[in-house]
Copies of this chain bind each other. A is one copy, B any other.
Amino acid sequence: MKASQFFISTLKEAPAEAEVVSHQLMTRAGMIKKLGAGIYTYMPMGLRVIQKVERIVREEMNRSGAVEMTMPVIQPAEHWQETGRFEKMGPELLRIKDRHGRDFIVQPTSEEVVTDMARQELRSYKQLPKNFYQIQTKFRDERRPRFGLMRGREFIMKDAYSFDRDEAAAKSSYQVMAATYRRIFDRFGLTYRAVAADSGAIGGDLSEEFQVIAATGEDAIVYCPGSEYAANMEKAEALAPAGPRPAATSAMVKTPTPGKSTCADVAELLSVPLASTVKSLVLATDELNEAGEIVKSQVWLLLLRGDHDMNEVKVNKLPGLNVGFRFASLPEIEAHFGSKPGYLGPVNMKQPVKIVADREVAVMADWICGANEIDFHFTAVNWGRDLPEPDMVADIRNVVAGDSSPDGKGELVIERGIEVGHVFYLGTKYSQAMNATFLAENGKPAPFEMGCYGIGITRLPAAAVEQNHDERGMIWPDALAPFTVVICPIGMERSAEVKAAAETLYAELMADGVDVILDDRGERPGAMFADWELIGVPHRVTIGDKSLKEGQVEYQHRRDAASTKVAVAEVAGLLKSRLNA
């Protein structure tokens, strides 16, 4: 490609609303253009990156045996009513009425449509397994779209759906996809981690997120450097402490802590480690009658070490709390504790509540908690002596760096990531809701065992930029770069030699299938270099009169601090060896 034939449009300043670096740089480099909130035009420079992502995904999906199809963007509501998602999904589901007043939606995913297709087309176990995928426009009407392609309303997603005869076969299809995703993310050339994720109501361990590592990532992910263990924060297990609970060393004391309503304040006041304090979280669950009215409520007290945070996903799975919990109201708190938040604790309550202690809290001795009296805490509280053992001991906290890895192979490390892919075992959730069955080997109808597998095609470039950029702009891995090589001739109009050398190198690289762009716009060197550093093309060859007289050109990788002189005759070879490396 020659730059004069292409469309290059860079900006010095990013729009004020661009909060994250990928949004700023992709806008400045003319890769995306905002049309409305969360709705972007993929400009020529950006579309090239997206198409490279698509090509890699398509090749590896095909290699895995998955079959490509395309489902409609605008879908009749009826299948979405079958699964109940038409009603259940909130305003994120964009709803439309057509000219006849019929209900439609814009697809956010396509479980319903693909399951409807399968129940018509896959009639026998002999046709299984099958995995169908599409690379298609999606829409989610986010309340606060932002961060450019990171959280848009319209976006492109690769979504795949596997259909199997039984759970074992579905798990094997899942494993094929998990391996395929590793190949895909390896080919992207990004630093990523596949982390175990919570599989929600489905249960089991068959849910993995593919996280692109970036300091700016929204997700905290957890891994063990000494092993294969990796999980997202929701999923990562905090093991029970190894040793037994120490013995109490002193008597419980009601200690004045005027105005100190947080564990941190209390620890500071008393000059003790934060880890000696216990925080009290008061939750409630409700029992409803058929009319949906609350018949009875149960108050729960969750106890966590002062330096730990509650993990909602884990709490949501505890017996009694897995019906859906809420934070208790002030009147409920006062009725049970006789005090206000900030000074609550499990000792001397007015009415009994159910007490859940985190595994860590359950083995603490001589701990500090609220005294259920404003401006007072108890110190040296001990289980069994000052209060009964807890009703339940469970892992209800987020892990922290330094925790033991659940596989016992070292300590956990926490880093930030951007979720770009997800593989998920669905079971029969959709096939049962839609009565999607096939004739099993025993001659009876059985519901499909399904899995679903997504990759955020337009999110991936944004994640790549969050991971790979510097103060001058983006830095693309070869596989994703809009162009792999840029040739920058200096003074091409003035110098026939420069022009000839540039054209010759361009022709040679083109003939070898290298994705090269020749910048023949006639820009001054400073502006030209600034453009390509912003755009982030990884390999640059500069051709100038002076070095050309010495038979040389300059090569610079986008990450190099300076350029290297290379003999004219050798530069194509150098580039090709670098590109294959």
Contact = CB atoms under 8 A, between A and B. Distances in A.
A365 interface: no
A72 interface: yes
A5 B43 CA distance: 36
Given A75-B35, A75-B36, A137-B137, A70 B47 contact: yes
A95 to B, nearest CB: 8
B39 A72 contact: yes
Interface in A1-55: 5-7, 9, 30, 33, 35-36, 39-44, 47, 50
A121 interface: yes
Given A5-B65, A65-B5, A130-B7, A94 B74 contact: yes
A72 B154 contact: yes
Given A94-B96, A98-B141, A121-B9, A35 B71 contact: yes
Count of identical protomers in the assembly? 2
Contact of A69 (B41, B106, B143, B154): B41
Given A74-B106, A154-B74, A69 B42 contact: yes
A162 to B, nearest CB: 13
A77 to B, nearest CB: 9
Contacts of A275: none
A44 B66 CA distance: 10
Interface string A74-105: 11100000000000000110101011000010
Interface in A297-323: none
Contacts of A69: 7, 41-44, 47
B98 A41 contact: no
A137 B73 contact: yes
A117 interface: yes
A346 to B, nearest CB: 43
A96 B263 CA distance: 50
A36 B96 contact: no
Nearest to A143: B99
A61 to B, nearest CB: 12
A113 B33 CA distance: 11
Nearest to A95: B96
A67 interface: yes
Size band of the interface chain A makes with B: 35 or more
A397 interface: no
A50 to B, nearest CB: 8
A73 B43 CA distance: 14
Given A5-B65, A69-B44, A99-B143, A39 B121 contact: no
Contacts of A7: 67, 69, 121, 130, 132
A267 to B, nearest CB: 44
Given A74-B154, A75-B39, A99-B143, A68 B94 contact: no
A158 interface: no
Given A41-B117, A99-B143, A73 B70 contact: no
Interface string A112-124: 0100110011000
A292 to B, nearest CB: 25
A121 B137 CA distance: 25
A120 B139 CA distance: 26
A312 B365 CA distance: 95
A153 interface: yes
A139 B74 CA distance: 8
Given A99-B143, A117-B33, A141-B98, A72 B5 contact: no
A106 B41 CA distance: 14
A69 B51 CA distance: 10
Contacts of A40: 72
Given A9-B121, A94-B98, A96-B94, A44 B68 contact: yes
A498 to B, nearest CB: 22
Contact of A39 (B43, B47, B76, B91): B76
Contacts of A30: 121
B41 A74 contact: no
Q: Nearest 5 CB-CB pairs, A to B?
A: A36-B76, A91-B99, A42-B70, A44-B67, A7-B67
Interface of A: 5-7, 9, 30, 33, 35-36, 39-44, 47, 50, 65, 67-76, 91-92, 94, 96, 98-99, 104, 106, 113, 116-117, 120-121, 130, 132, 137, 139, 141, 143, 153-154
